[in-house]
Amino acid sequence: MAKCKKHLLIGSTGFLGSEIAKDLCSRNQVVFGTYHRHHKKGFSLSGSVRMFQLDVRNRQGMERLVARIKPDYIYYLAAQSSVRLSWANPVETININLVGGINLLEIAKKLALRSKIIIFSSGTIYGETHNHKQKVFESDRLEPKDPYSISKAALDSFARIYAKNFKLNICVVRPCNIVGRNQSKTFSIANFAYQIKNISLGKQKPIIDVGNLSASRDYIDVRDAIQAISEVSGKGKPGEAYNIGRGKPVKIGHALKEIIELSKIEKIKVRKNEAFTSKDEILRMALASGKMKQLSGWEPRIPLRQTLNDMLR
């Protein structure tokens, strides 16, 4: 991707979208982004990224934008990404995550787009990574357990079918739990960092509210994830899905212990809060990323401890 290309990020103001935009801008690419109403507020790259308001459920509006920009690359990042919120409002989750994505696929079919399209799925679509199977591969069966994961699994399948049936240049990425600075505090590790910062500033008593600490997650630094996404955008094969993960599950409780140690704040208490738990929570996740390594030699390089330390800054 050395030459200057046009990149359209549908859903550019979230954690991952803004980091991808930052990376593309640093490589002198032409970047366009979309936001939904109030979500543009606080977007730090608005001077470098040409922004457009878009409701992904509006297919005509999306089609006009795509036809106007004629992007070389399209990234579908728009999502309602909270499992808890997906239970509270499953219809909105399906409309944004699935219907919005299908709108893009239909536009690609109608306009016979030659753009490289990256659809963002999720490692949660596999469901539980059972103890008898250390990690899951792209060929394993999808067993989503909640409305969020169901929406992602459905779009994942649609994208691969459209790539095959309509000869579209579409790839799917299935990331594990991506963590890093500036992440929304609706996610556990970012929430721990947020609470610890408040404790250090005297804004909160030395008590951290937590959910289920016994569950295990496959964590990866956002900078490693962006490198993987860049490799897929450049080398990924149409109709293929790629896991992005470390393949080594870490208990949430262990990550909390590390981030407390790194904070150097003494006598922090941990308090269980049911508001931080989700129905049918996945207890263990680990993704095999051998397909990514075979594609480009990619492997995660940043240790979790370094990521946690960065998140406290």
pLDDT of residue 137: 96
Q: pTM of the predicted model, to two decimals?
A: 0.95
Burial class (CB in 10 A: 0-12, 13-18, 19+), 279: exposed
What is the phi/psi pair of residue 162, to 5°? -65, -40
Q: What is the pLDDT of residues 212-237, one digit of tens each?
A: 999 999 999 999 999 999 999 999 99
Distance, in Å, from the CA atom of 174 to the CA atom of 288, rounded to the nearest integer, reads 11
**φ, ψ for residue 279, nearest 5 deg:** -65, 145
Q: How many CB atoms lie within 10 A of CB 295?
A: 18
For residue 158, what pLDDT is reported? 99
Q: Is 215 left (phi over 0), alpha (psi -120 to 50) or beta?
A: beta
- 16: closest CA among 243, 179, 188? 179
Element (H, E) at 228: helix 222-235
pLDDT score, position 279: 73
Residues of the chain with CATH 3.90.25.10: 188-216+249-285+301-311
Domain 6-179+219-246+286-295 -> CATH class: alpha beta
Check if CATH label 3.30.530.20 holds for domain 188-216+249-285+301-311. Answer: no
Q: Which residues of the chain are under the pLDDT cut of 70? A: 1-2, 38-47, 130-132
Q: Where in the chain is the domain with CATH 3.40.50.720?
A: 6-179+219-246+286-295
DSSP code, position 241: E
Which of 63, 45, 43 shows the shortest CA–CA distance to 55? Answer: 63
Q: What is the pLDDT of residue 132?
A: 55
Are the C-beta atoms of 127 and 144 separated by less than 8 Å? Answer: yes
Query: Model confidence over 94-136: pLDDT tens digits?
Result: 999 999 999 999 999 999 999 999 999 999 999 987 555 789 9
CB 311 within 8 A of CB 193: yes
The 10 Å Cβ neighbour count of residue 164 is 12
Task: Tokens for 141, please give them.
Answer: 């069966």
Distance CA 21, CA 183 (A): 15
Q: What's residue 41's pLDDT?
A: 53
Distance of CA 139 to CAs 34, 131, 136, 157, 240, Å?
A: 32, 18, 8, 12, 10
